[in-house]
A = this chain, B = another copy of it.
Amino acid sequence: MRWAQTGHDIIIGSRDAARAHDRAVTMRERTKKLTIVGKDNVEAAAMGDVVVIALPANGLAATLPPAREACRGKVVISTVVPLTFGGARLFTPPPAGSSAEEIQALLPDAKVVAAFHHIAAHELAETEHDIECDLLMCGADVAAKAVVTELGTSMGLRVVDVGPLSNAGPLEAITAVLATINRRYKLKNSGIKITGLPS
């Protein structure tokens, strides 16, 4: 919703193109922006300049391989967090070290950047207020991180570069911290800010 408001074209992807289309219609009505469409996942990936992956962590291996060619050479943003609710441990990194690194292995020709894990979904859906959270990102490709920086800045976020994609596990882990704080303090939008950075 925030990207639509700032003038980006939006392609919603889903396993079910009809569901993606319905969601796009709803977003068009809410934003009064016409350039929002819904497609099946592979077609959405093929149409996009930047691909944002917001899937459950356990669905990556089943969903991504058909989109490999569609993602070739593109900036792919992983927002995925491997959390397990109701078990003994909320966060356990996957064997790849992080969901972002798993995505990079499944889409070897993409430029994966891990980011947006800590911005609550409803903060992205409501566009009237400022988001009180830094955007932490990591990835191997400097140009890809510049694109993500622009996308974050366009919604008013301060963007902090947290180095290589091997730091994605710690970024994903922070979501477990925020989810626990939300539950314990009865919040829905705790976030984090880095202190000590030059302003």
Contact = CB atoms under 8 A, between A and B. Distances in A.
Contact of A167 (B133, B177, B193): B177
Given A167-B90, A169-B91, A184 B196 contact: no
Contact of A181 (B166, B174, B197): B197
Contacts of A163: 180, 183-184
A136 B177 contact: yes
A127 interface: no
A190 B89 CA distance: 28
Interface size on A, as a range, is 35 or more
Identify whether the interface residues of A are mostly helix, strand, loop, or mixed. mixed
B90 A93 contact: no
A98 B93 CA distance: 12
Interface string A150-188: 000000000011110011011101101110110111010
A161 to B, nearest CB: 6
Nearest to A160: B181
B185 A174 contact: no
Given A97-B92, A173-B173, A194 B181 contact: yes
A180 B192 contact: no
A157 to B, nearest CB: 12
A169 to B, nearest CB: 6
A89 to B, nearest CB: 4
A118 to B, nearest CB: 10
Contacts of A169: 89, 91-92, 173
Listed from nearest, the 8 A-B pairs whose CB atoms lie closest are A170-B173, A190-B196, A191-B195, A173-B173, A163-B180, A132-B195, A89-B166, A170-B176
